[in-house]
Amino acid sequence: MRERGRTRRLLGLGARTGGTLLRSRLGGEADWRALGEALFEGLSELKGPAMKLAQIMAQWDDLLPPDLADELARLQRQAEPMPWESIRRTLVEQYGELDVHFREIEPRPFASASMGQVHRAVTQDGETLVLKVQYPGLAEVLESDLAQLRRIMRLGRWLKVSRARLDALFEELAASLRSELDYHAEALALARYRQRYAHMEGLLFPEPLPELSGPRVLAMRYVAGTPLRELEEEDAAVRQRVATTLADWLTEELFTYGELHADPHAGNFAVDAEGRLVIYDLGAVVEVPETHLKATMQLLDATLAADPMAMDDALRRLGGRQGKGAPLALYRESAEAVAPLFEPGPQDFSDVRVHRRLRDLTPKVWAAMDRLQPPADVLLLSRTLNGHYWNLVRLGARLDMHARTRPLLAWARR
């Protein structure tokens, strides 16, 4: 990851992105598809922080132009792999002679991501594993890439995003990337989650293998599965079971244990042959303070009551409001947009009418950015829940959110 011109290429992509944003801002015709293709090709090869940011952006299906969102989503499933020889050197540094431990390691990766890629392997005892291998030199270039990303992200101010919000997003991204370099912490998280959620029969986490793991290689037992993005044509009953499991797990994770799996992009999830939800990656697990949960549920309570003044009070308690003049009309429209999902009885997350209303609100949200500034310590929770909302949309979930949230709202009122 030390190739010459890395900084120049990052700045070039940033300039192209800024030019497209500026044309759109000035009322010109922006070619979002061409920009998305350029970002896919450039970031897929560069890897690291810039690619991670694009993956995060791809989760904001309701905010991005569809052509741009489609191209960025490819980074979650079609990223260009690192050459095998570079990965092999990391494996040799970890294991020494590979033949001592492995009968075979597949040179073509099982999956490629922003910070590493996964290769299937067979031990000398005949057991199939996967090896998550960190990209060579990633730790050395991380801080340099982050400095360039901070410069690029300032282009967001052309869309009336405040510097405070941009800085909050950057700090969240930087902390997430630094934590993802710690494979020991991820192995501990996998072991903890496997034990904690053993009672959930529809949920599965790969088993980490500490004896074959190290600072830049995480070994796990292989768990086959169909990626979440490929389940659209799957039997509806299977998709509903998976959606219910996902919702149950998130609720228990947050409200019982105060933790959150904070990387909700669809590439981290699959469904095995028994219909269980498989969660492959636990590189980003964060603590969520009870105060944040209560404040978030109080905002939802005010939203479902269609009370714009109470919504404004809740946002102020969250630290997400500043300046004068509450955007009360925006609050009312937001309440009307989300209310259908919380009516009594199972509601259809794939209802396009809800998506249209949320998308129609986007320019109004941008216009109110001088008054709506989500704080850094709530931004991650909001982004993650938004990402899982779209996972439920992809599954065509039908969930009774009214029944699910009633006890949580009552808890927040106490």
Between CA 111 and CA 355 the distance in angstroms is: 30
Q: What is the arithmetic mean of pLDDT over 140-146?
A: 78
How would you write the chain as a 3-class SS string?
Answer: CCCCCHHHHHHHHHHHHHHHHHHHHCCCCCCHHHHHHHHHHHHHHHCHHHHHHHHHHHCCCCCCCHHHHHHHHHHHCCCCCCCHHHHHHHHHHHHCCHHHHEEEECCCCCEECCCEEEEEEEECCCCEEEEEEECCCHHHHHHHHHHHHHHHHHHHHHHCCCHHHHHHHHHHHHHHHHHHCCHHHHHHHHHHHHHHCCCCCCEECCCECHHHCCCCEEEEECCCCEEHHHCCCCCHHHHHHHHHHHHHHHHHHHHCCCEEECCCCHHHEEECCCCCEEECCCCCEEECCHHHHHHHHHHHHHHHCCCHHHHHHHHHHHCCECCCCCCHHHHHHHHHHHHHHHCCCCEECCCHHHHHHHHHHHHHHHHCCCCECCCHHHHHHHHHHHHHHHHHHHCCCEECHHHHHHHHHHHHHC
Which amino acid is located at 322 in the chain? Q
Cβ–Cβ contacts within 10 Å for residue 8, how many? 10
The answer to whether residue 271 scores a pLDDT higher than 70 is yes
For the chain, the average pLDDT equals: 83
The answer to whether residue 330 scores a pLDDT higher than 80 is yes
Tell how strand 203-204 and strand 277-279 pair up: parallel
What pLDDT is attached to residue 186? 94
The answer to whether residue 305 scores a pLDDT higher than 80 is yes
Q: What is the arithmetic mean of pLDDT over 293-312?
A: 95
Residue reference for tokens 């019982």: 256
The answer to whether residue 354 scores a pLDDT higher than 70 is yes
What pLDDT is attached to residue 26? 46
Between CA 131 and CA 220 the distance in angstroms is: 7
Q: What is the arithmetic mean of pLDDT over 109-135?
A: 90
Between CA 56 and CA 67 the distance in angstroms is: 16
Each residue's pLDDT tens digit, 58-117: 655 555 666 666 666 665 555 667 889 999 999 999 999 999 999 999 999 988 777 888
What pLDDT is attached to residue 156? 59
Share of the chain above pLDDT 90, in %: 47
